[in-house]
Amino acid sequence: MEDGDLAKYISSFGDRLALKSFCRNGTTQKTKMGLFEKLRVKLEKRNNAEENQTQDAEPADSSAGSSNKRRNATHRKIEIGWLHCEGEQRKQIRG
């Protein structure tokens, strides 16, 4: 199909070029499946690394152990609060 004929259906020149390129290359969903495969491999590596760390971990003193737990935590608890001032008196308010 000529560019003039295609312009009747798709007004943007860039869209017409993208369509022609897509038709020439015959691009399919292979790229999406490739991304899923890369993600799967990455997650497997992460899980294997975590298993190796737990197996290789040596017992340490209690203060170092607690800081490592917080450092490696996937979830963190955040508490929000403010100081409420009434004249000279201040009260801590936790939310």
Express each pLDDT in 50-76 by its tens digit: 887 777 665 555 555 566 777 777 888
Q: Has this prediction a pTM greater than 0.75?
A: no
Listed residue (51, 82, 57) closest to 69, CA to CA = 57
Query: Cα–Cα distance between 51 and 8 in angstroms, integer?
Result: 60
Query: Cα–Cα distance between 41 and 68 in angstroms, integer?
Result: 26
Across the chain, what does the average pLDDT equal? Answer: 79
pLDDT, greater one: 52 or 13: 13
> What pLDDT band is residue 5 in, cutting at 50, 70 and 90?
confident
